[in-house]
Structure 1
Amino acid sequence: MGEFVRLEVDGGIGTIRLERPPVNAINGQVTAELAVAAQEAAERSDVRAVILYGGEKTFCGGADVKEMVTRSYVEMRSFGAKLQNTVAAVAAIPKPVVAAITGYALGGGLELAMGADYRIAGDNVKVGQPEILLGIIPGAGGTQRLARLIGPSKAKDLVFTGRFVKAEEALSLGLVDQLVAPDDVYSAAQKWAGQFVNGPAVALAQAKAAIDGGLDMDLASGLKLETQLFTSLWATEDQTTGMTSFVENGPGKATFEGK
């Protein structure tokens, strides 16, 4: 358990909780602790799905500008690489990951949320990539994941202007996937993650690998990857359990052990 980031596990759901008041600003220590929490969530067999959460007031206000302004070029090259690698580690967790967004998700905070597979937000949130207003650009995957998520033209609008996006526009753009009342954000994330607690863990990991890996390939290569991952499941208990249960009991009756 870190000072600012911890992994809490309850009923098969692992919550990676940011707790650095007042806005969970990301500094070097938060970056390191996030990387550790992501690795632990990836490796623990009792974690079947993951929630990223910053608490009731705000998800993450972005990188700690007060710390960054004193860094040299060489120091920022190192920090930037570590932050980008940490978001990539979150994105690479081989389990369903949902970001539970309250308050603000700005700059590095939005980049962290984009590392999740699904985003649930309060209907009063504001999100954005305001780095341009500081004379810089997004550096933790924002120029890449944002363009893949909402398309290059809309991504350029947000990155070029640095404007804050309110909840309804964020939903229409595809920046978030679901809006709920602010007090219901975490419970809605628990409900989404809970769908997978008793699901086929290996098959879910392969599904995620196929979708995410395929996005970086041409169609033919993506289809080849899909075939490889699809057929590999015949060497797992997920496939045996799921198909046997279907034949004997009908669809949706299998109980998976995550092996």
Structure 2
Amino acid sequence: MGVDYSSFTTLQVTEGEGRVTAVLNRPEVRNAIDSAMVQELHLLCADLEENPRILILAGSNGVFASGADIGQLRERRRDDALRGINSTVFSRIAQLPMPVIAALDGYALGGGAELAFAADFRIGTPRLKIGNPETSLGIMAAAGATWRLKELVGEPLAKDILLAGRILTGEEALAVHLVTEIVEPEQLLAAADALADLIGRQDPLAVRLTKAVFAAPAAAHPVIDTLAQGILFESSAKFDRMDAFLERKKK
């Protein structure tokens, strides 16, 4: 049985063809990520793990997410940090079977940036501001930025963002390939849907296995590639799609 998304208070979730769109909706605090949102993200992940679909994450009111809720963060202590409250759910999002698209407008800072880094694709707007100012608050970006960001933009820029608090604009993020596209705010969700449409035209099992193999550690290759390909070589979709391709070639 699916999740009752109508009961959610921090996410507005809509289900479409082959995808789910989750809009962060705490406008009074610029969509800051609090414990309630983390819990709803976990429920969303549980649904997408059981019934794999593309996930589109977006913000509301011109903001993706301004970061973790500072009011709650102020009261967290060592044991809370050791629980990995945000890092656990962001890792779960990153490991979802089907791709995750982050549609980024306005502020994507701190935990908001780390949520975006967990996605497979990021699309931005000209007014995007993305970065990790955690050290200015006496803490560090501990929900994935210290290692995901280096993989995404390289070590020098990652250190500039993490250690010096540099905030990238949308165009700067595009120049370093942190986002793949810049569109006007009113076109943002349409662009995310267009990308979801492209992914949706591929064979779902091939997409799932490619994502899983892509995320595997170097030591697992090439064995894991070969095993995944062996599964796909026996799939009915392989024969159907290749037969259709060969038929088109004859015309």
TM-score by length of 2: 0.91
How far is 1:240 from its partner? 2.2
**Aligned match of 2:136:** 133
In structure 2, the residue matched to 1:235 is: 234
Whole-angstrom CA distance in 1 between matches of 2:119 and 2:179: 10
- Please tell me the residue identity of whatever aligns with 2:42: A
Aligned to 2:248: 249
Residue by residue over 1:178-205, the C-alpha shift from the partner in whole angstroms, topping out at 9 and shown as x without a partner, is 1111211111111111112243100000
The CA deviation at 1:56 is 4.4
Tell me which residue corresponds to 1:63: 68
Question: Mapping of 1:161-176 within 5 angstroms?
Answer: 161-176=164-179
RMSD: 1.7
Kept after mapping to 1: 8 A contact 2:135/2:162: yes
Distance 1:250 1:196, change over 3 A: farther
Given residue 113 of structure 2, which amino acid in structure 1 is its aligned partner? L
Cα deviation for residue 246 of structure 1 reads: 1.7
**Does 2:32 correspond to 1:29?**
no
**Matches of 2:236 and 2:113, distance apart in 1:** 37
* Corresponding residue for residue 51 of structure 1: 56
Measure the CA separation in 2 of the matches of 1:148 and 1:222.
18
How many residues matched? 243
- Match runs of 1:53-202 below 5 Å: 53-78=58-83, 81-202=84-205
Q: 1:59 is matched by which residue type in structure 2?
A: F
Secondary structure of 1:196's match?
helix
Do the aligned residues in 1 keep the contact of 2:57 with 2:103 (CA within 8 Å)?
Answer: yes
Deviations along 1:78-124, one digit per CA (max 9) or x if unpaired, are 2xx13111111111111122110011110111111111111100111
From 6, 13, 22, the equivalent of 1:7 is: 13
Q: Is the 8 A contact 1:203 1:238 kept in 2?
A: no
Q: Distance in 1 between matches of 2:98 and 2:235?
A: 16
Q: Quote the residue 1:255 is aligned against.
A: none
2:27–2:60 CA contact under 8 A, matched in 1? no
- Tell me the secondary structure at the aligned position of residue 62 of structure 2: coil
CA contact (8 A) 2:31 2:60 kept: no
Percent identity reads: 32
CA contact (8 A) 1:5 1:37 kept: no
CA displacement, residues 1-31 of structure 1 (integer Å, 9 cap, x when unaligned): 2211243111222112211123111111111
1:20 aligns with 2:26: yes
1:35 corresponds to which letter in structure 2?
H
SS at match of 1:87: helix
Contact 1:13 1:193 in 2 (8 A): yes
The correspondence for 1:212, drawn from 187, 198, 215, is: 215
Worse-matched range after superposition: 52-61 or 112-121: 52-61
Runs of 4+ with deviation above 4 angstroms? none
Question: Aligned in 2, Cα 1:226/1:56: closer, same or farther, shift over 3 Å?
Answer: farther
Corresponding letter in the other structure for 2:77: S
Equivalents in 1 of 2:249, 2:148: separation in Å?
A: 39
